[in-house]
Structure 1
Amino acid sequence: MTEKNILVADDQQEVCDLIKQMLEIEGYTIFQAFNGKEALEVVQNSPIDVAILDIKMPVMDGIEALKKIKQMDASIEVLITTGFSDFKTLKQTVDDYGAFDYLSKPFYRDELIHVVHNAFLKRDFNLQKDRTDLKGRIAQLEKDFIKKNRELRETQIKYKNIIEENADSIIIVTKDGIVRFVNSAGEALFDKKREKLIGESFGFPLMARETTEIEIISKDGNIRTVEARLSETEWEGEMAYLASLRDITDRKQMEEQLQQSLVHIKKSMEGTIQVVSMIVEKKDPYTAGHQQRVADLARAIAEEMGLSKERIEGIYMTGVIHDLGKVSVPTEILSKPGEITATEFELIKNHAQEGYNILEKIEFPWPVALIVQQHHENIDGSGYPLGLSGKEILLEARIMCVADVVEAMASHRPYRPALGIDTALKEISHKKGILYDPEVVDACLTLFNEKGFQLA
């Protein structure tokens, strides 16, 4: 017969002993405590079924002990006893704190036995219910396990089919480089049956999380370029690599052909730009070589500033034709000796906008039309044709502006002799941050003063 263990906790020794005598006669095993703290120690160390707690105890009262006992083992049924007739407090212990029932001192033996018996009935009912619920949960877990296992198998088959039918070659390789699995595409790529491949060395470096290109020689001696992507995986309980191989031979050949086409197009474009430049210089022979020298200086400034190769190339190409709009200016004005009139200057100023109008419909890989349009804009907004300022002006145009000013001042013009490079550098230095971008000016000064740059 299973023991029925009861904890009796009361700060009065005689009360504890009296309750113990009454209950031992009924076959219960009694544990005693004389305050709430001792009661918790008994619960912690002994298999208690029912606890009888007096409310008023030293160190820790019965209500606090009740709360903690329920936290330790919610299956323990707790009875509260008290010598006070505070039925509100007694009712609260049942409703709010989980006590099974209460006894008001003094109580009769039959009353005690009846309440304790009911407490055990309730505990047995709850335990039986828990066991029934547990059986139900176990049965449900078994069903869930069977279902999940079936789903897992279906998923495994699904992914196996995906891997097998994948257009990329999928190969599983051990950390030692031995092939353990090959799909159908892998057989085709290596021109071998998987039985011949499995167990052999993979033969290529294993670098997880990196994409590399490898070359495979087919039976007919042709070299195939293959893109390999490796990732870490697990195979039969051990770390391995999953190699995804894609034949990119055709793509590489197309890329090479495309690159050759781009080189050809670029050369054609450069030739066209040079022809346009020559047309402009035929129109204005007094500035022959001006565009080329501006292009060379602008490119050098851009390199000094650390711009990308693509932007530097765009700046150079634009420099070669930056005065294209001058084809719209009468030759007699461009080559006029001596001072020009205000009206004539307005016609010359028009060349930046005219150059933009000619170039805007042409699809260059750089903002050529905008650079041409803005190369006479000043960062204080005093330039033309749009009166842009600061960062509204493309950096490429700010570079072209400085290069254009330096070359123009250092070279001969119909209306004046050459002013010289020193005067040109003083001009941009004096107006740095006013008309000209400070960073561009600094790069230009460094070229001439420190790196020996000279206009051709």
Structure 2
Amino acid sequence: MIDAFHGENKILFVDDEINILNSYKRTLRSYFSVSTALGGKEALRIMGEEGPFSVVVSDIKMPQMDGIELLSKIRTKYPDSIRMVLTGFADLEIAIGAVNHGDIFRFLTKPCQTEDLVKAVEAGVQQYRMVHASRELEAVRRIKKGLEGTIRAFTRVVELRDPYTAGHMDRTADIATKISTSLGLSSDQIQGLQLAALVHDIGKVAVPTGILNKPDSLTEAEFSIIKTHPLIGAEIFETMETEWPIQRIILEHHERIDGSGYPHGLKCDEILLESKIVSVADFIDATMTDRPYRKSMEREKVIAKLKKNSGIKLDKRSADIGIYLIQEGVVSPSVK
């Protein structure tokens, strides 16, 4: 049975007889939060002032505004409320009219046993919850789709300034997705991780191109500037509300298991799993791709470096999967 005073259990009974309404209130108050309205106009006023109501149960034969007109208006103004009819005039013509004009969920006849009425209203509350859950799911889907579009726009901005960085982020996202899939992460986690990987180096927009594309080794001062990019990237996403830890992954993708990473020197479980995965994917693509200051490494050397750093600087499970992907040719050096 549905919890008696759950917020979704607000039920409105509408009738033109006060004694019947009082009876509903006495009978059902231990099951639902029951409100009553003496007629259609009163019902619309109460819905406007005290709503939303999950279920509205109305008589049909009422003066001034009958139940069919009322439920039709409710369907237009409050489409989420589940509409039910409870009437003593239960002929087929009235039932058809009520269904066609008010989109009726249940059609009950007076007198109605308490047990039957409770079951019908409970079914209405469950339907209301399903409708709301569906709407919330669709809203979340739209938000996620919009966020994905925004993130992909960010990568295109980077590409205009530094094609290597944008291509690197795309490839890192692909490798990270393969690793996370092998680790058995949920589809939602993988989606968030993929989007974070697509912008993990977004902070490099603030790094001078002369440093990014320098053909020689970086000086200590130049490397210090490079090391600010996770902080800058995280700041860019600071105000972007999302259920995914995108900002944190951007911030942590250069942290290392042994605490030797940056910007905060986090260790082991202080680093989010998704961040660890992106770290390995980032490491793989960086070593297997030409850089301004060096050529890409051979596959065997990349595997050797992964083995050397596995469980020390890089997450062991992620690194082991990365090694397997390279050995099987699923991940290979990018073609320049």
User: Which one has the bigger helix percentage?
Assistant: 2
SS of the residue corresponding to residue 219 of structure 1 reads helix
Kept in 1: contact 2:84–2:105 (CA 8 A): no
Alignment of 1:87-166 (within 5 A): 160=27, 162=29, 166=34
Q: Give yes or no for the alignment of 1:293 onto 2:185.
A: no
| Alignment partner, residue 220 of structure 1 | 100
User: Which one has the bigger strand percentage?
Assistant: 1
Alignment partner for residue 446 of structure 1, among 310, 320, 324?
324
Structure 1 residues 377 and 161: CA distance shift in structure 2, 3 A: closer
SS of the residue corresponding to residue 144 of structure 2 reads helix
Cα shift at 1:339: 1.8
| Alignment partner, residue 400 of structure 1 | 278
- Larger Rg computed on CA atoms: 1
Q: Give yes or no for the alignment of 1:274 onto 2:183.
A: no
Kept in 2: contact 1:405–1:424 (CA 8 A): no
| Alignment partner, residue 413 of structure 1 | 291
SS of the residue corresponding to residue 268 of structure 1 reads helix
Kept in 2: contact 1:297–1:455 (CA 8 A): no
Pairwise CA RMSD of aligned residues? 3.8
SS of the residue corresponding to residue 415 of structure 1 reads coil
What whole-Å deviation, never above 9, does each CA across 1:78-111 have from its counterpart, x for those lacking one? xxxxxxxxxxxxxxxxxxxxxxxxxxxxxxxxxx
Kept in 2: contact 1:286–1:335 (CA 8 A): no
Aligned AA (2:100): D
Structure 1 residues 431 and 225: CA distance shift in structure 2, 3 A: farther
Percent identity (aligned): 34
Cα shift at 1:357: 2.1
Kept in 2: contact 1:410–1:423 (CA 8 A): no
Separation (CA, whole Å) in 1 of partners of 2:32 and 2:166: 69
Aligned AA (1:316): Q
Aligned AA (1:273): I
Unaligned 5+ segments in structure 2 are 1-22, 37-55, 61-82, 107-113
Aligned AA (2:255): E
Q: Give yes or no for the alignment of 1:430 onto 2:308.
A: yes
Alignment of 1:39-50 (within 5 A): none
Alignment partner for residue 379 of structure 1, among 240, 257, 263?
257
SS of the residue corresponding to residue 377 of structure 1 reads coil
Give the TM-score normalised by structure 2. 0.65
Larger relative contact order, structure 1 or 2 (CA cutoff 8 Å, min sep 6): 2
Alignment partner for residue 345 of structure 1, among 192, 213, 223?
223
Alignment partner for residue 269 of structure 2, among 391, 394, 411?
391
| Alignment partner, residue 329 of structure 1 | 207
| Alignment partner, residue 366 of structure 1 | 244
Aligned AA (1:441): A
Alignment partner for residue 162 of structure 2, among 284, 306, 309?
284
Q: How many residues get paired?
A: 259
Unaligned 5+ segments in structure 1 are 1-155, 169-183, 198-215, 227-233, 236-240
Structure 1 residues 256 and 161: CA distance shift in structure 2, 3 A: closer
Kept in 1: contact 2:252–2:275 (CA 8 A): yes
Kept in 1: contact 2:173–2:195 (CA 8 A): yes
Give the TM-score normalised by structure 1. 0.49
| Alignment partner, residue 7 of structure 2 | none
Cα shift at 1:311: 1.3
